[in-house]
Amino acid sequence: MSDITNNIKVDYENDYPLAAKRSEWIKTPTGKNLKDITLEAVIDENVKAEDVRISRDTLELQAQVAEGSGRCAIARNFRRAAELISISDERILEIYNALRPYRSTKNELLAIADELEEKYDAKVNADFIREAAEVYSKRNKVRIED
C-alpha cells in the first residue's frame, strides 16, 4: 500500500460509493485521478489502456469498503488481487497453469510461492500457493519429479 491508503480509513456509511463520494482518493496505476478519465481525454489520446487499470491502492480502499459492510471474504479477495497488480498477465497465467493438478512438482509450487513473496511482496498469495502444494502433495495431485 502507498502512503495514500495508509492514511485513509474508509467509512462505509459516508464514503461509499467511492467513485461518487471520494473520487479524489481513486488513482490509476499511472497516477491519473479518476476525474481525468473522460471520453474527451480518450478521444484526445490523453488516456491510454494502462491508465484505466485498477491500482493496488484502489483495491485496498475497496477492501476497506467490504470490511465496513461486514463482507470480510470479499475484502480478502480484494487484498489478494491487490498483491497481484504488479505481476504481468503472462506470469499470472503461468502460475495458474502450474496450479492445475499434476502440472507441477511440490518443489516447483514452493518455488513459485517464494517468488511471489520475495519478488512481488505477495505474502497472502504465496501462502495460498504453499497451502496448495501441501494439499496437492497429500492428495497425490503433484507431478512426480523425474
**Segment 87-144, tens digit of pLDDT:** 999 999 999 999 999 999 999 999 999 999 999 999 999 999 999 999 999 999 999 9
- CA-nearest of 14, 17, 84, 16 to 55 is 84
Report the pLDDT value the prediction gives residue 118, as an integer from 0 to 100.
98
Residue 4 has pLDDT above 60, yes or no: no
Classify 54 as helix, strand or coil.
coil
131 contacts: CB under 8 Å, gap ≥ 6: none
- CA-nearest of 61, 54, 52, 106 to 79 is 61
- The pTM is what? 0.77
Q: Give pLDDT tens digits for 104-119.
A: 999 999 999 999 999 9
Report the pLDDT value the prediction gives residue 137, as an integer from 0 to 100.
96
141 contacts: CB under 8 Å, gap ≥ 6: 101, 102, 135
Set of cell numbers at residue 72:
470480510
Band (pLDDT 50/70/90 cuts) for residue 57 is: very high
The domains found in the chain, sorted by start residue, are 1-85 (no CATH), 86-146 (1.10.1510.20)
Residue 146 has pLDDT above 70, yes or no: no
The total number of residues written for the chain in this structure: 146
d(CA 34, CA 24): 7
